[in-house]
Amino acid sequence: MAQLILASASPRRRELLAQIGIGLEIKPVDLDETPRSGESPRDYVARLALEKAQAGYLAGGETLPALGSDTAVILDGEILGKPLDEEDAVRTLLRLSGRSHQVMTGVAVTDREHSRVEVVITDVSFAPISESQARAYWASGEPADKAGSYGIQGLGAVFVESINGSYSAVVGLPLAQTAAILKEFNIKIWQ
């Protein structure tokens, strides 16, 4: 039985919520994800998460709380979005090569009474990546729809030397923080 509306088409977020026992109704929303002028990466992911939750709440007929989330990869203060094409993905992966970056994931839950937003920041360090590795990774199809052109839960894991923070947030949803927020909305997780 549905306890929550997930305002996302992301199979990763759906799987993460199912992992903690949340019954979902899926209501993907389509929003303009362009960063605003002068908007910090933290404010950007928080705003998008909240806008998605609000749109999902309306799309669900205002009957269940809705969850929205957004993940961005940040390098040198710049938001690295989903790749436009192979060349963009290869360029991004070579920029991340041998360096550390941040993954910021905003999660928001809203209902008729209130909204709650939290941003989780995880530091990720990459091993060196050659251009041929980046191109082979692109050919796998995995990075095409991923912020920063990689997925830590898939083949892209071979690039990751270490993380400091929430693994599930890098996948797309910080589970510990999400569970705490859901409790505020009286949504029972598996516990």
pLDDT tens digits for range 101-141 = 999 999 999 999 999 999 999 999 999 999 999 999 999 99
> What is the domain range of residue 9?
4-184
CATH code, domain with 86: 3.90.950.10
Catalytic: 70?
Answer: yes
Per-residue pLDDT at 1: 85
Model pLDDT, residue 190 = 76
Higher pLDDT, 190 or 60: 60
- Residue 191 in any domain: the answer is no
* Residue 155, domain member (yes or no): yes
The answer to the question of residue 139 being in a domain is: yes
**Domains identified in the chain, total number:** 1
Domain membership flag for residue 124: yes
Give the pLDDT score at 191. Answer: 60
Percent of the chain with pLDDT over 70: 99
Q: Which of 32, 43, 70, 85 is catalytic?
A: 70
Confidence of residue 181 (pLDDT cuts 50, 70, 90): very high
β-pairing verdict for 4-6 and 66-75 = parallel
CA distances (Å), 5 to each of 23, 27, 85, 110, in order? 9, 7, 32, 10
The beta strands (E) that lie in the chain are given as: 4-6, 24-26, 66-75, 78-80, 100-110, 115-126, 160-164
pLDDT digit string, tens, across residues 47-75 = 999 999 999 999 999 999 999 999 999 99
**Any domain includes 190:** no
37: buried, middle or exposed (CB in 10 Å: 19+, 13-18, 0-12)?
exposed
pLDDT digits (tens, 9 = 90+) for 79-95: 998 999 999 999 999 99
In whole angstroms, give the CA distance from residue 172 to residue 77. 20
Q: Is residue 52 part of a domain?
A: yes
